[in-house]
Structure 1
Amino acid sequence: MLDVSTEEITDGSILRSLLLLATPLVLQNVVQFAQLIVDALFLGRVGETAVAAVGFVYPLTSVMLAVIIMPFVGTQVVVSQRVGGEDRSGARRVAVNGVALALVVALPVLAGVLLVGPSLVDAAVAFLNPTDGIADPASIYLVTYALAVPFIAVSDTLEGAFVGWGDSRAALYVNVVAVAVNLALDPILIFGWDAIGLPAYGVQGAALATAIGYAAGMALVLGFSLGLRDTFTLSRSDLAFDADAWRELVDVGYPNSLQRVSKDGVKVAMVALVFYAGGGAAMAAYTIGVRVSAIAWIPASGLQQAAQSVVGQNLGAGNPSRAKETTWVGVAIAAVGLGGIGIVQWFVPEALAKLFIPGVSGDALRYTVAYLQILAVGYWAIGASYLLQGGFNAARRTRTSLVASLAQNWGVRLPIAVVGIVLLGGGAIAAFWAVTLSNVAVALGLAAYYRYQTSHGMLDRAAETAEASGA
């Protein structure tokens, strides 16, 4: 029912192809959203300190994932262009080399966190606000979460290959399994199980459940790629080192990885500013805001992946006009849909705050209500910017997304937060507004630049590059 053939993507209805390919990806990301929500709900029952501790190191876990995203993005884009150009054996070879690259990137990240992660967290807490008592649980969560990095890298890269091939349901199934295992283990590992003598691990239990869940997801996607699904299947003949594939994967993927790292570097600074300005109460609010805002960026990310595959296959097939139309259709869907979600969130912020931390009150409640309403104003912009970046990425213009992210985070978000908190005395609220204003700024800037670049032949040149690469 949700299968999309290459012929439909390159010759059929753009709206239908985009929605059919996006539906499993959006559902997959909704599943991930459920994981974030349930994790936060369980941690909220542990206490406000547990929520704040996980929120404090969340940017560091994001940096880890940002580093390992390079093989995933490169694999999806290059595989989609190979498939559009009817080079299926080349697409499979790219996927195999993408997995090898994923491990090369992920293992040093794991080692680095194990070696220096705890000392970095301890030093940061001691410098910013040593009285809140979050250093130990934050360090424990970070180190345990790092164990998931190799599993995530391999799983995401193979999922990118399936999506680039046109099979987005595989990614949905993999994430359903990963999240189901995570959620089943969450209450057991967080709160313990007296009947079998299992102790309560608290925040470490949440991270352990996540790592085990991702390991299960990786096992499933490996099975899919070795024959459990009859769409994208690898064979022994595909297991060959390809230096050209590595160069392509790095060339397409590294700007997106740098984009994520730069973005998450600002998240580290924002967390420090929020913690400095409002202590644990503001930190808990910021953490809840990050989790709730997933309701915007998770479907936007699913649509972006679908658009990247549809645009990439059309460029590989020499259809730049359809590639352009796909991007704008995706922008419209994302902006309208997420704008509607933002309107709903504006009216129920207190209920959301108490859902996550039942006993929340005082400054923590006030900060949370304010942040949830401020975030809601810019949800439409999150959707639009994700789809516009997808349009650039599929055209191998991942450097554009990198520059846009640098401008958004380092040129708009961080300066507004610093000026608002340090010079104007706006407290944590100033940091909250910096997030939304930067989201709006990048959406408007990307829209103007995409229109300019496409009117000056960007997609025609991309189609020529895809054809030459496949040859």
Structure 2
Amino acid sequence: MRAENHYPMLDASREDIVSGSLTRVLVVLAAPLVVQNFALVAQEVVDLFWVGRLGGTAVAGVGLAAVLVGLLLVPFMMLFTGTQVVTSQRVGAGDEAAARRVPFTSATLAIPLAAVVGVAVLLGAEPVVDRFTDEAQVATYAVAYLTAYIPALFTTSLSDTLEAGFTGWGQTRIALYVNAVAILVNVVVDPLLILGYGPFPRLEVFGAALATGIGYGVGALVALAVVLRGREGFRLTADAVRPHLATAREVVTVGAPIAGQNLGRQLARLVVIAVVSVAGGAAGLAAYHVGSRVATVAFVPAQGLAQAATSVVGQNLGAEHIDRARRATWIGVVMAAVGLGVLGVVQWLFPAFIAHVFVPGMAGTDLTYTVAYLQILAYGYWALGAIYTVEAGFNGAGETRVSMVSTLAQYWAVRVPIAVVVYVLTYDVTAVFWAVTLSNVAAAGWLLAYFAYTSRRGLFERAADLPESEPESDGATEGAATG
């Protein structure tokens, strides 16, 4: 029987996920995640808006730092994805005791990992930034942002790891609440610390990163409060917080390919941004950053749908419902590709208006490059929708290595070579923009073809045949999500 709650239209129980309408379940689970991701994007837009008050050079510096922050977060993605996949499979199999251990084990791994990454930032921020720009002020802003981001490594890793547990459990509305609190705090604190309103010091880009850390610190406290209160099986117990080596190994095993995937992606982005810096200078960097932020807004529905699909696929495989897992993936692909395709048309028609929404007053070369990037990106939006959701099918089955290999090929076999070669031949920064879109379309093509092939050749059957975990055995769950 479905667990009783006060929001029946916004929740999905295990019974809904493994036996109800797939379209409804995907929409119900994705809706809070889409709202949450839109809130995350709103936070980034607010950051960009207030940093934009400092000028184009500050926007360029934060844009460079944002790519480096993406690289810093790579090892944490291993924990986040591993937590969601393993939790969803345990819940689907009806083993709540084992499922509870997953997010708490991951959280204990995230904190020392944040300490190691923070030390690396302190030691290496300045020399690394200097390799990507010759403009002293751009470098100064980038180093300031990276240094101030260190506290955020701790707070975001704790908050996001617990949220991954909520999402894997099917409680996406709780994940929304946690993020909404974090983002609201960030949005309020942003202008106070960036521009120094009232009694607050003017910290400029340092304040933008610091506000992120403060916001997610509050979010982590909310997540812990919800866990202490307990909700639908996801609660704090003595067994859940006890160190559990097998669970840690399982999370890392499932999530490691995702870390490899993101490492390859972020390193490739560094190469691309280096080409942009050489080809377009500060104006090129500003356009790349604005274009990336606009694209992030467009991708939100597909990302939320993909997160929901990962949990739906994982729980249905845990319950050995093979055909439902397969159909959930294809339904998600169609919804995301069509939805993002429509957004791409809107972006192609109104690029200048969209650019000014993000950075009022943008003009000259900055605007020219940004308009070009927005229109070129729009051609590949449908492909990004397909990529996100078809990868959810593989990830939900524990085959995270597929996403890793695809991403490495997308960036290193297509995007980087096209960006470098075409720029050398044309000396035109738009060559980099075309490389981004072409690589997205290529990746969508081969991922869809490979999923169609492997889903008919036992992909989900192999995942569903994995043995169920035994709560009292330290080694019972090891490898259960890896296939």
Query: Out of 167, 175, 200, which is 1:171 matched to?
Result: 175
Task: Give the Cα separation in 1 of the matches to 2:391 and 2:150.
Answer: 28
- Select 2:25's aligned residue among 17, 21, 24: 17
1:156 aligns with 2:164: no
Equivalent-residue separation in structure 1 for 2:113 and 2:463 (angstroms) = 27
How far apart, in 2, do the equivalents of 1:356 and 1:20 lie? Answer: 30
- Matched with 1:445 is 446
- Which residue identity does 2:23 align to in structure 1? L
- Report the secondary structure of 1:46's partner residue: coil
Partner of 2:276: 274
Match of 1:181 among 179, 185, 196: 185
What aligned pairs does 1:338-377 form with structure 2 within 5 A after superposition?
338-377=340-379
Residue 24 (structure 1) shift: 0.5
CA–CA distance in structure 1, aligned partners of residues 148 and 48 of structure 2 = 17
- Which whole-Å deviations, capped at 9, do the CAs of 1:239-271 have from their partners, x for residues lacking one? 222221111111100100111111011111111
Residue 101 of structure 1 aligns with which residue?
A: 109
| 1:84–1:315 Cα contact (<8 Å) kept | yes
Seen in structure 2, the aligned counterparts of structure 1 residues 131 and 118 have a Cα distance that, compared at 3 Å, is closer
1:214 corresponds to which residue?
216
| Structure 2: distance between partners of 1:282 and 1:106 | 32
CA drift of 1:366 comes to 0.7
Where do 1:197-236 residues align within 5 Å? 198-227=200-229, 229-230=231-232, 232-236=234-238
Other-structure match for 2:389: 387
Secondary structure of 2:73's partner? helix
| Separation in structure 1 between the aligned mates of residue 360 and residue 86 of structure 2, nearest angstrom | 47
Aligned partners of 1:147, 1:75: CA distance in 2, in Å? Answer: 22
TM-score computed with the length of structure 2 as normaliser: 0.93
Deviations 1:417-465 (A, max 9, x none): 001111x124210000111111111111100000100111110000012
* Equivalent residue number for residue 79 of structure 2: 71
The 2-side partners of 1:49 and 1:26 are apart by 32
Give the alignment of 1:111-122 within 5 angstroms.
Answer: 111-122=119-130
Contact 1:118–1:143 (8 Å) recurs in 2: no
Counterpart of 1:80 in 2: which secondary structure? helix
Contact 1:167-1:231 within 8 A present in 2 as well: no
**Which residue of structure 1 lines up, in the alignment, with residue 299 of structure 2?**
297
Structure 2 SS opposite 1:209: helix
1:435 paired residue number: 436
Of stretches 292-301 and 183-192 in structure 1, the one that deviates more from structure 2 is 292-301
Q: Matched residues in 1 for 2:112 and 2:328: separation?
A: 34
Tell me: CA distance 1:145–1:433, structure 2 relative to 1, closer, same or farther (3 Å).
Answer: same
**One-letter code aligned to 1:437:** L
Q: Which of the numbers 45, 53, 56 marks the counterpart of 1:45?
A: 53
More moved, 287-296 vs 346-355:
346-355
- Please tell me the residue identity of whatever aligns with 2:18: T
Tell whether the 8 Å contact from 1:53 to 1:135 is kept in structure 2 after alignment: yes
SS at match of 1:148: helix
Question: Unaligned regions of 5+ residues in structure 1, if any?
Answer: none
Distance 1:139 1:332 in 2: 42
Indicate the residue corresponding to 2:418 in structure 1. 416
Q: Indicate the residue corresponding to 1:402 in structure 2.
A: 404
8 Å contact kept, 1:182–1:212: yes
Conserved? CA contact 1:316–1:466, under 8 Å: no
Paired with 2:330 and 2:396, the residues of 1 have a C-alpha distance of 14
Distance (Å, rounded) in 2 between the aligned partners of 1:354 and 1:466: 54
Contact 1:284–1:364 (CA under 8 A) maintained in structure 2 = yes
Q: Report SS of the residue matched to 1:285.
A: helix
Q: How far did residue 132 of structure 1 move?
A: 5.9
CA distance in 2, matches of 1:415, 1:297: 25
Distance 1:13 1:466 in 2: 27
Kept in 2: contact 1:57–1:138 (CA 8 A): yes
Aligned residue type for 2:442 = A
Q: For residues 10 and 66 of structure 1, what CA distance do their matches in structure 2 show?
A: 32
The aligned amino acid for 2:176 is L
Q: Work out the CA distance in 2 between the residues paired with 1:425 and 1:120.
A: 28
- CA-to-partner distance for each residue in 1:351-410, whole Å, 9 max, x for gaps? 122233333222111101000111111111111101111110111100000000000001
CA distance in 2, matches of 1:176, 1:9: 25
Deviations 1:69-104 (A, max 9, x none): 111111111111111111000101122211112223
Q: Is the 8 A contact 2:273 2:285 kept in 1?
A: yes
Secondary structure (helix, strand or coil) at the match of 2:132 reads helix
Corresponding residue for 2:287? Answer: 285
Q: Is the aligned partner of 1:58 residue 2:66?
A: yes
* d(CA) in 2 for partners of 1:225, 1:427: 53
Q: 1:94 to 1:406 in 2, by over 3 A?
A: same
Instruction: Supply the distance in 1 between the matched residues of 2:232 and 2:58 (Cα, whole angstroms).
Output: 44
What is the CA-CA distance between 1:38 and the residue it aligns to? 1.3
**Amino acid in structure 1 at the alignment position of 2:63:** G
* Equivalent position amino acid for 1:447 in 2: L
CA gap of 1:465–1:230, structure 2 versus 1, over 3 A, is closer
CA distance in 2, matches of 1:215, 1:70: 21
Task: Choose which of 131, 139, 144 in structure 2 pairs with 1:140.
Answer: 144
Secondary structure of the structure 1 residue equivalent to 2:12? coil
Q: What is the percent sequence identity of the aligned residues?
A: 48
Alignment partner of 1:460 is 2:461: yes
CA distance in 1, matches of 2:112, 2:467: 26
Which structure has the highest helix share of the two?
1
CA distance in 2, matches of 1:141, 1:169: 31
Q: TM-score, normalised by structure 1?
A: 0.96
Q: Tell me: CA distance 1:322–1:53, structure 2 relative to 1, closer, same or farther (3 Å).
A: same
Letter in 1 for 2:222: L
CA distance in 2, matches of 1:123, 1:409: 21
Deviation at 1:305, TM superposition (A): 1.0
